[in-house]
Structure 1
Amino acid sequence: MARKRSLSFRIAFIFSVFIAAAFAATGIITALLVDGRVTGLTTDIQSQMTRARGDQMAEFIKKMEATARMVAFRDQIRTADLDRIEELMKALRTQVSEDIDMIFYAGRDGEAVTSLGTRVNIKDRDYFQAVVAGTQRFFISKAVISRATNLPVVLMAYEVLDPAGARRGLIGIQIDLGKLSQIALSMKSGQTGYGWIADKDGLVIAHPNKDVAMTLVLSETDSKGYRGLADLARRFQAESSGVGSYRTPDGRDVTTFFVQVPGSPGWILALSQETREIRRTATELVQVLIVTVVIALVLSILISVLVARSVAKPVDHVRVSVERVARGELGKARLVSEYSRKVLERGDEVGAIALAINDMIEALVRIATDIRQASGQVSTGSQELSSTAQGLSQGATEQAASVEELSASVEELASTVKQNAENTSQADALAQRVARNAEDSGKAVAKTSESMGEIASRISIIEEIARQTNLLALNAAIEAARAGDAGKGFAVVASEVRKLAERSQKAAQEINGLSRDSVSVAQEAGKLLTELVPDIKKVADLIQEITAASNEQSSGAEQIAKGITQMDMVVQQNASASEELAGTSEELASQAELMADTVSFFKVDGSDSRGAVESRPVRSSRPAG
């Protein structure tokens, strides 16, 4: 069986998962953006710094070229007098830039006079071959070991022309690599960043590590434990600037920003820095972001728990009330406590639900009370209806007996009238007896008329009973409809009672009509008999008239006999309907008791619905407390 989770847990869980997912997605995206943007920004700054230093070196080269050109155009140099030139070189030692380690002049034979007072032959040097023996006006040599100072240097040579414009020699400027390296070594970035220079052949000519300068060739670094540096060196000559990375022999990842120095013989100025330090700022920002996201997530979860409790607690309170309704405890289910009042006064959907449920409970209390009262009234009315129906049945039985007696009297009267017609010849002898019989017949007819009036009166009572029964059945159907599902069975019974009442009322109306006709006939017969007594005294004189009157009386007696027979059938039907009405009344009483038992499930104010209620409760859709 699955474990049930509370509404508070579910709301908090759903909110927490949603918030966690949102924060996680936001944090990841932000971290990636921060990492990318900060790393990109750092990369841009380092690249810009590298290009700026490259431009600075280019300006330095232009400055040295301008210095060499200025010296090459001096008159002393153009005369080719080595003694004068030597004096000039010594003088220039204190006049030229302090960045210049040495300045010298070399003729076409390669003999060079230096500002240091030494003479050397440089005919085999690449810069001599390029400027004097070749066609270049200005040339920068590879890094070499100076023959004059025995130090690693870079030579810059500028052509010297004679007055006729022919190439006579060159002016050379020797720059100590240590001084040149200061431009690169001044590049600092963080704790691990440093600058260095490599020539077009991949030889590192300037490096903060003296063991590397003039010894490390980038194309040979794979054999020395470097990973990716040789590939990066190939990019140096193919790209004007860029970013690359390699791994040192001790396993450190290094990111390198490089730029080709404009105006140089393929020099590469590079800025190398450990990758982890470049990413340190981004990593620290990401860590701060993660901590911030975690704190925000924890706070959001706490807030979601509080929100879930603020929703679930009143819902659970309403649930308890609904469970009490399910158990029939309507009195205890009302939301009347102090906390219930707070729940009902909430302006949100929970408060609206609680208010609707409280209104439903109040409505159920009213309905249970009304059904309980209605069932008691229906039960009482059913008992009275049953008693009346029994009395009506008894009266109908008595009416049937009276009608049978009347029928017999009418048959006897018909026989007498027929005998009078047949014995007209004996009318005179029997006149006295006929007179007496006529008087008896008059009394019987009067009695019959009285009985007919009594029947009409009883039939009016039956009509009134049928009308009252119809009204009671209609009221019972209305109350059953108000009871809902619990009153469906009672509604069917009430409908059947109403139909029987309508049938009884219709039958009573028919009987009443027949009774009025019978009274009229009986009165006519009494009138005829009244007139017959004096006529008998004149029988002798009116024998013929008596014969005709006897025939008429015979026909009228037959009609009366038929009417009495029909009246007997109606009375029998009335008796049967009365018995059915009595049975229906008993069934109605039984259904009322069943409805009372059903409604007793609901307990109002701590008692069940069987208890008598003297007055209805105040109908209010709002709690009092």
Structure 2
Amino acid sequence: MNLKAKLLVAFLAMSLLPLALIAWITVDHSSTALSEQAFAQLESIREIKKTLLDQFFSEWRGNMDMLIDSVVSLKNAAIDKMTIVQEMKKAQVEEYFQQGINDITTLANNTSLAKAVGDFAMVVDKEGKVDETLYEFTEKVKYQNNLAQFKESGGYDDLLLISKEGVVVYTVNRHADLGQDLAAEKNREHPLSRCFYSALESVTVQDLEPYAPDENDLRGFFAAPILKGKMFLGVVAVKFTKEPLNRIVQRRKGMGSTGETYLVGKRNDEIRYRSDQAVKTGVIGDLVVEIAAKKALSRESGVLLDMDQTDTLEIVRYDPLEIPGLQWGIMTTIAVEEAIAPKMEGETDDYFTRFTSQYGYSDLFLIHPTGMLSYSVKHKADYRTNLNTGLYADTGLGLVFRQVLNSKSFHFADFRPYPPSDNALAAFMAVPVMSDKNKVDLVVAVQIPTDVINGVMQERSGMGDTGETYLVGQDRQLLSDSMANSNRGQVAVLPTDSQSDQIRTVAVEKALAGETGKMIISDYAGKEVLSAYTPLNVWDTSWALIAEIETSEAFASVRTLTNLMIGISVVTCLFIVFVSVIVAGYIVTPVQQVALFIKNMAKGDFSRSFSGKDAERKDEIGTLATAMMNMQVRIREVVAQVKEVAQDVSTGSVELRVSAANMSKGASQQAAAVEQMSSSLQEIGAASKQNAENASYTEKIAQETSQNARESQQIVDETVKAMAEVAQKIRIIERIVGQTRLLSLNATIEASRAQEHGKAFAVVAQEVRRLSDTTQKSAEEITRLARSSLSVSERAGEMSARLVPLIQQTTNLVREIRAASDEQRSGMTQVNQGMQQLDQVTQQNVSMAQVLAATAENLTEQAHHLQNIVAFFQIETPNGRDDRDEHPDCV
């Protein structure tokens, strides 16, 4: 192998081998770096979405606490309102019966009534036949219709006199009961007969029963014995109907569309209605099976949530009635759906509908402890079904309801298909509403759709064309929409029971096992992907959160870099071969002419080349010529390079000096800007501190306002109680009016008996009656005024009850603002510290820039010194002249 071939091989070996090694190392390190970058980006996206989902569920849990507070407040407000209404009606019913007892007692004590029993007994024979003429005379002439007037003034249906033998000798209405022998065996179960025997010794009240002489309409009686001294002369009774009781309990002002009050009573171990219902279909005499009715007749008072006969959940207020001789109770009910889901004036949506819309829930449910789903915002197929025994008992809603009922605490049910929502995925959260006796009164549940989760998981910013994140549940089913077709289009993958639809990749299994990591795997579609996985714990449920991108996209830049390096290497190899050939020829040929210009070389003149055939000789001269030729070329190249380097160093030192000066100037400006920013941050920190102090002061004001609102509520409650007491005093006045009328009646009867001598007494009796009428009208006007004042007080109480939660909510918001201001102040303190550190670093950069400028100045001086040294050598310039414009003779 000749010298040229050897040189060519040597050049190629020294150039191509390092090039190949450098290219391999570059591609390998770049591939690793890009792969780590792709994984880091996936992990960052995964953690961001995990944090967002954790925040969503934390907010939802807080929403449930707020919802329970609202439900309890609304329920208590409804109960308070029902209690006021029931107390008023209870007092009115008891007053009605007490008034009847007082009226019959006063009438029985009238001395003329004892004579009237005897007079009317004379007009009825032993067979019950009535002498109509004598009857008319006795009633109209002898007693001037006084008994009929008493019946009308008291608002009773009839007034009856029963002889001591048990014969009905007088009735105002003259129905079929006139002349009946109540002592006869066939009449022993007659309601009036029982009333007669009960009244032999004392005043009695006979319960409402079907009464045959009045076509079996319901009638009740007040009865009292007629005595003359200790001698029993008979019984006087007044008959009452259901209408007065219905008028009292069926007043529905302020009770909404479902609220009503009704009476119940117990007789012969059966509980039946004692008034007609105004909203539902119950009427007097129908059987009652409600638990509250049993409690009221057991002398208990209270409130409970119960299902009525139509499976409607109601709030029931029950109390016993204090009526001598009767076992009655009073009940006030209102549907829970209306009581604790109120509608604001002028709006069509109730409170819960607005709540679900505001926080993005699909539906909201109120569930009775029996399992009856009594309220739903959407009223889907699950409405009014039983979650213990019904069609949807095995759904996620049924499961979470039973968990809450057993634990009496918050629970969450994982996403599952929910049939009433067209089998769409739904999760549920539920919390109990507890009573004072630590019993579950109600379970409140909300339905969570996948929309919110999809909104987080489908955000694909920074994930390229094939990147995606998705959730997988414990059943290995997708909980969020994913991408499944070959075109990477977004389609919803709903979970089923089929094993083929389950996601069982390595990443999913590791995440569900509680591991966090990253790897390259085959995804659920069989494609190779970069996968970053982690568990997502939602209370007692664990999901797999997966972030993936196809390797074809993730490593696209690696492939591009590899192809680029291959192209560059090929071009470089061709260039190296070309250069090596030229250089080898250049080195070998001039060696033969080296002897001709050794002198010039000794003088340092390397600008001349030589020619001749001596260099082609094969003897020692040729060898020497070749060696000298090579030495001349090499030295000339070194000198040329040294000059170029000296020139480059000189130029670079100047540029370096300019750059160092600019850098020093920029660093100084940066230091000034940092000082200004640090000062601004200190001012912002002071403002944040002032905001925190203002928020704290505002919070104290809100707390004082809340306390004032509570005190106002107490004052309104006291006003309502005072108005109730006024109503009671007015009823006392009404009783006095009734007694005055009775006294007037007695005076009239005695005046008629005295005939001529009693005329003056009759005039006095008439004046007393007029005074009684005037007093009655005044009492009625006062009663209307008291009722109007009571209505206003109730409305004020309602407004105060609405105001208290709003003020409390304001207090909570101010407290949150104060906490946010404290966090902001802490953050600004940390940023200020960072700016101070940056200021120190900037000052150090200024010092280093000054040192760099001094170094550049020194480098310029060394470059000039190097140029002076290499000026000794003369070499050929590109224009054919030497570098000093000299033209020595060629050798």
TM-score (norm: length of structure 1):
0.48
Whose radius of gyration is greater, 1 or 2?
A: 1
Say which structure, 1 or 2, has more relative contact order (CA 8 Å, 6+ apart).
1
Q: Identify the structure with the greater helix proportion.
A: 1
